[in-house]
Chains A and B, each alone.
Chain A
Amino acid sequence: MDPVAAKYIGAGIACIGMGGAGVGVGIIFGNYLAAALRNPSAAQGQFGNLIFGFAITEALGIFSLLIALLLLFAL
């Protein structure tokens, strides 16, 4: 296979990993919203934890984006 074509295909495959992060971030915000609607008075106190969980989950998706960017521009 043409190495350049393989590089582009690899970058595309690497981006599939971001779907997992999308599911994870959706679960985090969905569960936060569900809990916040049950007990709105406690919601504000958990906002920091929400953002922390979001950041940790998002990092994994960002790693796969990074692999795609490395394949496209750095290698």
Chain B
Amino acid sequence: MADPIHQFEIHNIVSFGQIGGHEIALTNSALYMAITVVGIAALLVGASASRALVPGRMQSVAELTYEFVADTIQSTAGTEGMKFFPFVFTIFTFILFANVIGLVPYSFTVTSHIIITAMLALLVFFTVVIYGFWRHGLHFFKLFVPRGVPVYILPMIVAIEVLSFLSRPVSHSIRLFANMLAGHITLKVFAGFVTLLGAWGIAGWFGATIPLALVVVLTALELLVAFLQAYVFAILTCIYLNDAIHPGH
């Protein structure tokens, strides 16, 4: 059976030589990130080129995306959170496009690598910490002291709050990465069953229709997951930013 992990291999496309013993190369990961960014830019620039009062099809897509993200920020982080709109919109569209482009057969899923999602999650984490301290100074520590908690259990609550705050980038990055990884492995394993059964002759061909149908259903499910995980990443970003804007629960 074909190796289901093979699709996640990173290989060089163009190598530019070495700097300080490290190879500098254009990999397939970098290529697909570039395709993602060009795709988003083409959609948004192309959609807003005409600026019609009554939007056409493409302009509606861009406007709906804008309003969707704006509503998410306003409902979770308040109107003050709107100053982070470009940040959240960039993260949401990048992950959404990377996930959906990754579903195209023979393509590469950028978000299925922990290094990419970890960098995104750390970016969010440090934005929250730096903005929180810049905006509130030492009052930012009120985030770890919930109001109305009896004094005798306060030390334990503070310890738990600090731990959960520090584990945020871990769960934030692993959720996206593991969902993409597991989904794509499942797809490839079921696709492997099709070829395995197909090799048995006529009887196998009939049997192979069952995993083939499952692959179709799973692809539809993965499309939902691709959108849902981009939304989850964006809404968690908003909730974490809300802590930086309004600490002290």
Give the interface of A toward B (CB within 8 A).
Answer: 45, 48, 51-52, 54-55, 58-59, 62-63, 65-66, 69, 73
Contacts and interface: CB of A to CB of B under 8 A. Distances in A.
Contact of B76 (A48, A65, A73): A48
Given A59-B171, A73-B5, A48 B178 contact: no
A71 to B, nearest CB: 14
Contacts of B174: 59, 62-63, 66
Nearest to B179: A62
A58 B179 CA distance: 10
Q: Is the interface of B mostly helix, strand, loop or mixed?
A: helix
A51 B178 contact: no
Interface string B169-183: 001001100110110
Nearest to B231: A51
A73 B4 CA distance: 12
Contacts of B33: none
Interface residues of B, number: 17
A34 B45 CA distance: 43
Interface in B226-249: 228, 231-232, 235-236, 239
B235 A48 contact: yes
B72 interface: yes
Interface in B190-235: 228, 231-232, 235
Nearest to A73: B5
Contacts of A73: 5
B236 A58 contact: no
B75 interface: yes
Contact of A55 (B72, B75, B181, B232): B232
Nearest to B167: A59
B211 to A, nearest CB: 21
